[in-house]
Chains A and B, each alone.
Chain A
C-alpha cells in the first residue's frame, strides 16, 4: 500500500497528494427558478467516489451532467442534498478539487505563459515564486510538456492546451480531479493520447478522478465505475462497475468482448431511462 501522506514516483521532484478522502453525493437535486416555471434539472443524485477511483458520468447532451459537475466543484449550490469530501460538507470550491474545463481556450489565461498558468493556483495559495515554478515545471513534465513552459497557450495545439489545464490541476495538489468533457474539443487521435495520459497520472499519483463525458467508449475505457445519468429531470439510472484488465490499453482493452457488452448495456440504459436501484452487475 502506498504511503498515504506523500507519493513519490521515481523521477519526481515534488511530492503530490494521493487521494485519501471519498467524495460522497447524497440526494442531490438542482432546480432553477421557483413555482410554476421552475425547471428541475437534477433529481436525487447518489454518487460515491472512493479514494483513487476513476468514475465517469455519462448521459445524453443536456442531461445535466455539467450542472452536476459544477455542483461537485462548489461553483453552484445544489437545491437539495449534499456533497461531502471525507465527511465534510462542501459549500464553496474546496481545496481538494482541481477542475479541468471543457473549453481550455477560455480557462487558460492568454497573457501568461504556460508555466505561469500552471503555477497560478499555487500563487493563489500564497506560495513563493521559486517553489511554485518548480512544482509547475514538474507538473508540465508529468503531462509530457516539460519543454513547453515558456510558450503562451495560444501558441500550443488544442491537445497541448488541455494538457496544460491538467497539469494545472495536478500542480494544485488536488486529490480529486473533476473533468468536464475534457477531451471533447480535441481530435480523436489526441483524445486517445490524453485518455492514456489520464490513466497514467491516476496510477502514478493515486488521485481520484471524476470525468463527465458523452462518449460511452471513453467512459468504459477509463472507468472503474460508470454512473449513467438520464431522463428529464436527470437522475442516476444505473451504476456499472467496470471490470476489465489493468492497465488499460487502447487496442487490447477495446478488443475485449466485455468492453462491447459494457458499452451496449450503458447505451441501452441511456435510451430507456427507467431508474433502478443502484446495481452492480457483471456482464
Chain B
C-alpha cells in the first residue's frame, strides 16, 4: 500500500464505517422519523438526476458566492482602513462590537421584508453574516504587520499604493484568509436560513418544503446534502489556501514553526 492510499484510508475509514453502520442499521426501519438510509439516498439521487436539485444547488451556491465576494471586498477594504488608521478604529469600535455580537440571522426577515423575495436579499444577508470575521481578521492582520517591513518601505520611499499591495496586504494575508475560512462556514448557514423565509428555490427551500410536507426522507436527504456541500466547499478552500499562501506554509516548515 503506497502512501497516498494509506492517507486516504486513514481519512476515510470512519465516514465509511458510520455510513455502513447506518445503512444496515436502518435497513428495515419502519420508524417515521428514521427511514432507511437506502431510501434517503434513493430519493435524493432521484431529485438530483431528474428533479429540481441541480437548479436549487446552483441558486444557493450562486448566492453564497455573490454574498461572500461582497463580504470579501467590503471586509478587506474597510478592515485595511481601520487597521491602518487607529483613530478610525477607535471611532467605529463600539458600533462594530455591537454588530459583531448580534446574531446576523436575526436580520434575515428584515432583509426579506425590505427587499422582497428573490436572490438579492439572500445575497445581502449572506454578505452581512460573512463580513464580520473577514473585517475583524483584516484589522488584526493589518495591525500586525512587522514594523521592520513597514520601516523598510518608508526608508526606501515606497509609494502608498505599492506599500499596500506588496507589503501590507501580503503580510496580513494569512490572517485575512483565516477570516474568509470562518466566513465560508457562516455563509453556508446563512445561505440555508435565508431560504426559510420567502424562497421558491434553493437547497434550504428544498429542505423546508420537504419538512412541511412531512416527507421525512427528503428532509434527511436535503440536510445531508447541505452537509456534504459544506464539507466539499471547506475542503476545496483548504486546498486553495495551501496554494495561495504557499510561501507562508513553506516558510513555516523551513523555520520549524507551527503553521
A interface list, Cβ under 8 A from B: 73-75, 92-93, 95, 97-99, 101, 103, 105-107, 109-112, 120-121, 123-125, 152, 154-155, 168, 172
Which residues from B are CB-within-8-Å of A124? 153, 156-159, 162
Asked if A120 meets B250 with Cβ closer than 8 Å, knowing A101-B152, A109-B170, the reply is: no
In the assembled complex, 15 residue pairs joining A and B whose CB atoms fall closer than 8 Å, in A order, are A75-B154, A93-B154, A98-B156, A99-B155, A101-B152, A105-B148, A106-B149, A120-B158, A120-B166, A121-B157, A123-B166, A124-B159, A152-B250, A152-B251, A172-B156
Asked if A75 meets B159 with Cβ closer than 8 Å, knowing A110-B251, A152-B247, the reply is: no
B146 at interface (Cβ–Cβ under 8 A)?
Answer: yes
Which residues from A are CB-within-8-Å of B157? 92-93, 95, 121, 124-125
Which residues from A are CB-within-8-Å of B171? 109, 111
| Closest residue on chain B to residue A168 by CB atoms | B156
Which of B167, B247, B250 has its CB near the most chain A CB atoms (within 10 A)? B247
**Shortest 10 CB-CB distances between A and B: which pairs?**
A106-B148, A124-B158, A121-B156, A107-B152, A99-B155, A111-B170, A154-B251, A111-B247, A107-B148, A93-B155
Which of A74, A75, A106 has its CB near the most chain B CB atoms (within 10 A)? A106
Check if B151 sits within 8 Å of A101, measured CB to CB.
yes
Which residues from A are CB-within-8-Å of B149? 106-107, 109
User: Given the complex of chains A and B, what is the CA–CA distance between A73 and B154 in angstroms?
Assistant: 10
User: Given the complex of chains A and B, what is the CA–CA distance between A75 and B153 in angstroms?
Assistant: 11
Check if B250 sits within 8 Å of A109, measured CB to CB.
no
For window 119-164 of chain B, which residues contact chain A by CB distance below 8 Å? 146-149, 151-159, 162
B254 at interface (Cβ–Cβ under 8 A)?
Answer: yes
| Closest residue on chain B to residue A102 by CB atoms | B148
B239 at interface (Cβ–Cβ under 8 A)?
Answer: no
Chain B: residues with Cβ within 8 Å of the partner, total of 25
B255 at interface (Cβ–Cβ under 8 A)?
Answer: yes
Sample of 8 more A-B contacts, CB < 8 Å, known A101-B151, A109-B170, A111-B247 = A73-B155, A93-B157, A107-B152, A109-B167, A124-B156, A152-B250, A154-B251, A168-B156
Distance of B156 from chain A, by nearest CB (Å): 4
Asked if A75 meets B151 with Cβ closer than 8 Å, knowing A152-B251, A154-B254, A155-B254, the reply is: yes
Check if A99 sits within 8 Å of B156, measured CB to CB.
yes
Consensus secondary structure, chain B interface: helix
Consensus secondary structure, chain A interface: loop
Interface string of B67-89 (1 = CB under 8 A from A): 00000000000000000000000
| Closest residue on chain A to residue B245 by CB atoms | A111
Which of A98, A111, A112 has its CB near the most chain B CB atoms (within 10 A)? A111
Distance of A174 from chain B, by nearest CB (Å): 9
| Closest residue on chain B to residue A105 by CB atoms | B148
| Closest residue on chain B to residue A103 by CB atoms | B148
Distance of B116 from chain A, by nearest CB (Å): 44
| Closest residue on chain A to residue B162 by CB atoms | A124
Which residues from B are CB-within-8-Å of A123? 158, 162, 166
For window 237-259 of chain B, which residues contact chain A by CB distance below 8 Å? 247-248, 250-251, 254-255
Which residues from A are CB-within-8-Å of B151? 75, 101, 107
User: Given the complex of chains A and B, what is the CA–CA distance between A117 and B3 in angstroms?
Assistant: 38
Distance of B257 from chain A, by nearest CB (Å): 10
Check if B155 sits within 8 Å of A110, measured CB to CB.
no
Asked if A110 meets B247 with Cβ closer than 8 Å, knowing A75-B151, A93-B154, A93-B155, the reply is: yes
User: Given the complex of chains A and B, what is the CA–CA distance between A73 and B162 in angstroms?
Assistant: 21
Check if A99 sits within 8 Å of B254, measured CB to CB.
no
| Closest residue on chain A to residue B169 by CB atoms | A111
User: Given the complex of chains A and B, what is the CA–CA distance between A152 and B254 in angstroms?
Assistant: 11
Which residues from B are CB-within-8-Å of A105? 148
Distance of B162 from chain A, by nearest CB (Å): 6
Check if A109 sits within 8 Å of B166, measured CB to CB.
yes
Distance of B217 from chain A, by nearest CB (Å): 50
User: Given the complex of chains A and B, what is the CA–CA distance between A213 and B152 in angstroms?
Assistant: 19
| Closest residue on chain A to residue B147 by CB atoms | A106
Distance of B157 from chain A, by nearest CB (Å): 5
Check if B152 sits within 8 Å of A99, measured CB to CB.
yes
| Closest residue on chain A to residue B255 by CB atoms | A154
| Closest residue on chain A to residue B246 by CB atoms | A111
* Candidates A97, A101, A106, A121; contact of B158 at CB < 8 Å: A121
User: Given the complex of chains A and B, what is the CA–CA distance between A93 and B159 in angstroms?
Assistant: 12
User: Given the complex of chains A and B, what is the CA–CA distance between A101 and B150 in angstroms?
Assistant: 12
Distance of A193 from chain B, by nearest CB (Å): 23
